Amino acid sequence: MQLGLVGLGRMGGNMRERIRAAGHEVFGYSNDPNVADVKSLAEMVEKLTETPRVVWIMVPVAATEALVDEVGALLSPGDIVVDGGNSKFDGDGARAERLGKRGVGYVDVGVSGGIWGKDYGYALMVGGEKKDVDAVKPIFDALKPEGEFGYVHAGRHGAGHYAKMVHNGIEYGMMHAFAEGYELMNAAEIIDDVPGIIKSWREGSVVKSWLLDLLDKALDEDPQLSKIRGYADDTGEGRWTINEGVRLAVPMNVIAASVFARFVSRQEDSPAIKAIAALRKQFGGHAVKDA
Amino acid sequence: MQLGLVGLGRMGGNMRERIRAAGHEVFGYSNDPNVADVKSLAEMVEKLTETPRVVWIMVPVAATEALVDEVGALLSPGDIVVDGGNSKFDGDGARAERLGKRGVGYVDVGVSGGIWGKDYGYALMVGGEKKDVDAVKPIFDALKPEGEFGYVHAGRHGAGHYAKMVHNGIEYGMMHAFAEGYELMNAAEIIDDVPGIIKSWREGSVVKSWLLDLLDKALDEDPQLSKIRGYADDTGEGRWTINEGVRLAVPMNVIAASVFARFVSRQEDSPAIKAIAALRKQFGGHAVKDA
Amino acid sequence: MQLGLVGLGRMGGNMRERIRAAGHEVFGYSNDPNVADVKSLAEMVEKLTETPRVVWIMVPVAATEALVDEVGALLSPGDIVVDGGNSKFDGDGARAERLGKRGVGYVDVGVSGGIWGKDYGYALMVGGEKKDVDAVKPIFDALKPEGEFGYVHAGRHGAGHYAKMVHNGIEYGMMHAFAEGYELMNAAEIIDDVPGIIKSWREGSVVKSWLLDLLDKALDEDPQLSKIRGYADDTGEGRWTINEGVRLAVPMNVIAASVFARFVSRQEDSPAIKAIAALRKQFGGHAVKDA
Amino acid sequence: MQLGLVGLGRMGGNMRERIRAAGHEVFGYSNDPNVADVKSLAEMVEKLTETPRVVWIMVPVAATEALVDEVGALLSPGDIVVDGGNSKFDGDGARAERLGKRGVGYVDVGVSGGIWGKDYGYALMVGGEKKDVDAVKPIFDALKPEGEFGYVHAGRHGAGHYAKMVHNGIEYGMMHAFAEGYELMNAAEIIDDVPGIIKSWREGSVVKSWLLDLLDKALDEDPQLSKIRGYADDTGEGRWTINEGVRLAVPMNVIAASVFARFVSRQEDSPAIKAIAALRKQFGGHAVKDA
């Protein structure tokens, strides 16, 4: 089938290749004319001669909202806009409604797999109405890994982004579990070969996982991680997961702790610990470190 | 080679089969005469005609300490005792020393893989002196999965159990990350198909892992987990991991939270929350629930 | 001065008494005619003969929004609406703006002190413009405790409710710290007299606090807390505090843990721990408890 | 009565003054001859002419064990050694037994109050046998604050140090609750006067406490805490509290989080977060910061 694809960055660019490799026709648009197939959104839509026309938006969250409306305005009843970015789930319903007033369908897709997805396939979590989801199915089949896994129609509008949010929340927690174990083994006197232990777990262990494979790979490249600073950004989904736990009264101790640890990693100094040090000085006369 | 194997329960019994399948001769001893190959430890040791004689102890932690000494007393200089149970690492040094006085070697092995290890192989983390570890190597090769992973000589006496302890600590954290995400999706209004989402993640996602495969399997059998109560035991390694973090000043927020959550799951009522409810009544006149 | 007071429940009723005791004239309105001084909001406003007229709203959060507008519509330019309820800070700006279009001022007040405030005075955290805050100052002086503490003009519209939110978040964390210590001492074999220890800390200790005094009082009434179930509601501010931490990238480990513990206390069964138990059964053959 | 006092540092020195002010005779021994009343432990014991002789040891934990035995050897049946330091509770039983073989009694005392205790009195938590505790009672009465609070006989040997351990664990949690709230208010856009808010809570609020008074005092001296670095030591009791929670299966989320946060504050760089950053680079191509 044909697909309009808006956004050809690290994710979008790879996805274009994978979709094309599956035999589909992709018209990619980007701000960067060097990678774009078409010069404008309008030209992209024009090239889509089959109906329903499907346009997949794969851009940073901040740019998505405006683009959904802009693309929607170029489409006709029956056509479909797909948001494959890391948008927050709670905006999907309103987008679907806005597009729906013009008869345009909306599908939200959470896409996992990072830079490895091009070769191995992407895990896709999809939200929207069945008829729209079905229309995009050939593209989903091209993007997902081979076999029975890697794709789900999770529910109504927003369910795809919701499932991706939870996926990322879980990912934060898993990463931090490995990180704590890694740090502990590095501190333990009797452990001689931390990278060797990590590597050994890749088969036969209960913690066998892709994240573990990647940690092993990172340690192959830099056994002490001596070239990397302990600084970690977060991309929103972890925070939203906590907020959803708070909203729905679901305890989130592990995922929250993993997100909070990233916050700490980005602080030059901790106002909270300043207060602790100030208190210790007050009641116990304990020495403080000068700022 | 030949191996004496003490303990033929869920783990030991399967291991005997896997070792035999690799062509080794195993003399298994158990309290249960129906599964034992020999009638006594003495008979077991007698059957071991090759030197060094190697005896692998695979029994519950509580029974290990006495058995190590009992078996050690039957062996001769150069022979080796292997403890493959979930013993705490900090006792390994003393055991090695006690056996060492009689010239008997000691190897501690952390064994992961559970009931699946028989077919897929066990991940083995080994601590001890190189000459002893080398002598047991053919057995390790039989037990581990095929390929380059699944085995590590982690360091001196205790390092094998230490690595297994950390492995299990990480496992606790990973399981709880999945558990939180699972609970959140069940609470979310817009999610229709939680088991389907879990299943979709098995390929292409960042959280791809054996634990996820098992969660999918569990949901195939009982999609709402309606037959299972939210009650979880813990087997010691998670607690020891926290204590080690405390000892070495390594923050353990995620692993600690996952262990604490199991503590809560086993309480009929929470004294801590009783105190909270009592306080709320005192300062705010908030209603309490009668016990 | 004169004050219109809407809401004469546990808080509002006590506040009316305290304000009157300070010599001010209060016209209280309530849905309950038995406690109301006036029959309608309109009558209440009519009775306020001094300008600017000040009406203090002290009702449950859910009812506040509509009342602010209803009262505002009865007032004239220069008059002032005070919201002393536990409203979320992020709605204060819009309310101030809506009232401001009619020339009516708005002041948000976080009120702490619970049922003890009537006698001891309430801690007041105030947000709004200086001229409006100054106009209400005699009422604040009546409500606050004697002495230099118990009152702050924290900042612009919303700052009063924000400070109250943080106050309550801290309160959650403090309560839970006491709760954990209380539970631990009850579990410890060598501790004979938990209530006695709590009581002893009331003077001379670092944890000396009003919450501790209240815990002591609760234990005087019920030394084992045997009449209270471990079930604790939460009133919103703790959740908002976590969400603000998430928004501003401020680590909230302690306060979040204290709120999550209340979530757990209200669950019949834990879906998260069901998932853990299901996983343990899958990989280790560990027994589960039937639901 | 008469008291031998070993250790005249920040705590011991102040305690000597307070005990003397109550009319008792104190013979203080210290390594520092400038502050000591006697030249040796032997001379100290000689000066104690009343029986039973009571010697209170108030030295850093590391020096306590040897001193208890050294002092014990100088005493006679019926005499009493008091350990008022921050010793770990689980050593008290063995000390009591060792001294008991010589007929010497042992009392463990947890002492709270820090540098303020001299004037306000110390909170005392006492463990040991009633007859020994009774014999030291006049000294306890001198040290404790006036009034009904500030003293408890908590249980058998070790109970005093146990109660003090829990007290400090709670203190860690309370301090961190304040610290989180403090940091959040500093980050909030609409809060103008953080020190003013802290000060306002000192009366009428639910968080009214001595720690809050001290935080206010610290902010009076340095409103931004700009002279203090966010670095906090810990003195053992917090760690022991976690370990006890782990041992007794008591959830310790809040206290553990507060201790872990201090660990983080002392790290130059976080190995755990290095691992997180390495993983993010591997799966997502996310940039890392160079070490």
Q: Which residue has the tokens 């305890």?
A: A251
Average pLDDT, chain C: 96
Chain D: residue whose CA lies nearest to C178: D170
Tell me what pLDDT residue A287 has: 84
pLDDT at C127 over 90: yes
Contact A174 B177 (CB under 8 A): yes
What does the H/E/C string look like for chain A? CEEEEECCCHHHHHHHHHHHHCCCEEEEECCCCCCCCCCCHHHHHHHCCCCCCEEEECCCHHHHHHHHHHHHHHCCCCCEEEECCCCCHHHHHHHHHHHHHCCCEEEEEEEECHHHHHHHCCEEEEECCHHHHHHHHHHHHHHCCCCCCCEEEEECCCHHHHHHHHHHHHHHHHHHHHHHHHHHHHHCCCCCCHHHHHHHCCCCCCCCEHHHHHHHHHHHHCCCCCCECCCCCCCCHHHHHHHHHHHHCCCCHHHHHHHHHHHHHCCCCCHHHHHHHHHHHHHHCCCCCEC
Span B165-284: which CATH code? 1.10.1040.10
| Sheet of A54-57, strands arranged across | A25-29, A2-6, A54-57, A80-83, A105-112, A123-127, A151-155
pLDDT at C175: 98
Q: Is the pLDDT of residue A288 over 90?
A: no
Mean pLDDT of chain D: 96
- What is this structure's pTM? 0.96
A102 pLDDT more than 90: yes
Which residues in chain C have Cβ-Cβ distances shorter than 8 Å to A235?
A: none
Contact D276 A214 (CB under 8 A): no
pLDDT, tens digit (0-9, with 9 covering 90-100), for B114-143 = 888 999 999 999 999 999 999 999 999 999
Q: Where are the domains of chain D?
A: 2-157, 165-284
Band of pLDDT at residue C75, cut at 50, 70 and 90: very high
What residues of chain C lie within 8 A of the CB of D185, using their CB? Answer: 162-163, 166
Does residue B31 carry a pLDDT above 90? yes
Q: For D247-267, what is the mean pLDDT?
A: 98
Band (pLDDT 50/70/90 cuts) for residue D284 is confident
Six-digit token pair at B289?
Answer: 């629930």
Chains touching A, CB cut-off 8 Å, 3+ pairs: B, C, D
- Amino acid residing at B149: F
Residue C147 in this model has a pLDDT that exceeds 90: yes
Integer Rg of chain B from CA: 23
**Cα–Cα separations (whole angstroms), residue B212 to A153, B200, B206:** 18, 10, 11
Residue A104 predicted with pLDDT over 90:
yes
pLDDT digits (tens, 9 = 90+) for D31-42: 999 999 999 999
* Percent over 70 (pLDDT), chain D: 100
For the segment D135-156, what is each residue's pLDDT rounded down to a tens digit?
999 999 999 999 999 999 999 9
Which of B165, B208, B239, B263 is the best residue to mutate to test the D interface, defined by the most D CB atoms within 10 Å of its own CB?
Answer: B263
Q: Tell me what pLDDT residue A286 has.
A: 84
What pLDDT sits at residue B107?
98
Residue C162 has pLDDT above 90, yes or no: yes
The overall average pLDDT reported for chain B is 96
Chains in touch with B (3+ beta-carbon pairs under 8 Å) read A, C, D
pLDDT at D243: 98
Q: What is the pLDDT of residue C246?
A: 98
- The CA distance from A82 to B69, in Å, is 67
List the single residue in A with minimal CA-CA distance to C266: A249
Which residues of D fall within a CB distance of 8 Å from B259?
Answer: 246
Higher pLDDT, A185 or D116: A185
Cβ within 8 Å, pair D263-B250: yes
Q: Which residues in chain C have their CB less than 8 angstroms from residue A243's CB?
A: 243, 246
Query: What CATH superfamily classification does A2-157 receive?
Result: NAD(P)-binding Rossmann-like Domain (3.40.50.720)
Percentage of residues of chain C with pLDDT beyond 90: 95
pLDDT greater than 90 at residue A48: yes
Mean pLDDT of chain A: 96
What's the pLDDT at C103? 97
Helix axes A253-265, B159-187, angle to 10 degrees: 110
Q: Give B179 to chain A, closest Cα distance, Å.
A: 9
Predicted confidence at residue A28, as pLDDT, reads: 98
Across the range A230-250, mean pLDDT stands at: 96
Could you read off the pLDDT of D168-191 as tens digits, one per residue?
999 999 999 999 999 999 999 999
Q: With contact defined as beta carbons under 8 Å apart, do A104 and A71 qualify?
A: no
Residue D281 catalytic?
no
Query: Among B228, B266, B269, which would you mutate to test the C interface (most chain C Cβ atoms within 10 Å of its Cβ)?
Result: B228
Q: Report ipTM for this prediction.
A: 0.96
Residue from the list A242, A272, A283 with its beta carbon closest to the beta carbon of C246: A242
What is the Cα–Cα distance from D34 to C214, expressed in whole angstroms? Answer: 45
A259 neighbourhood in chain C, CB within 8 Å:
246
User: pLDDT-derived band of residue D288, with 50, 70 and 90 as boundaries?
Assistant: confident
E-state strands within chain B = 2-6, 25-29, 54-57, 80-83, 105-112, 123-127, 151-155
Q: Which residues pair with A27 in a beta bridge?
A: A4
What integer pLDDT is reported at residue B222 of this predicted model?
97
The predicted-structure confidence for B53-93, as pLDDT tens digits, reads as follows 999 999 999 999 999 999 999 999 999 999 999 999 999 99
Is the pLDDT reported for residue C218 higher than 90? Answer: yes
- DSSP-assigned beta bridge partners for residue C183: none
Note the pLDDT tens digit of each residue in B233-272.
Answer: 998 999 999 999 999 999 999 999 999 999 999 999 999 9
Whole-angstrom Cα distance, residue B29 to residue B46?
12
At C86, list the tokens: 């536990």
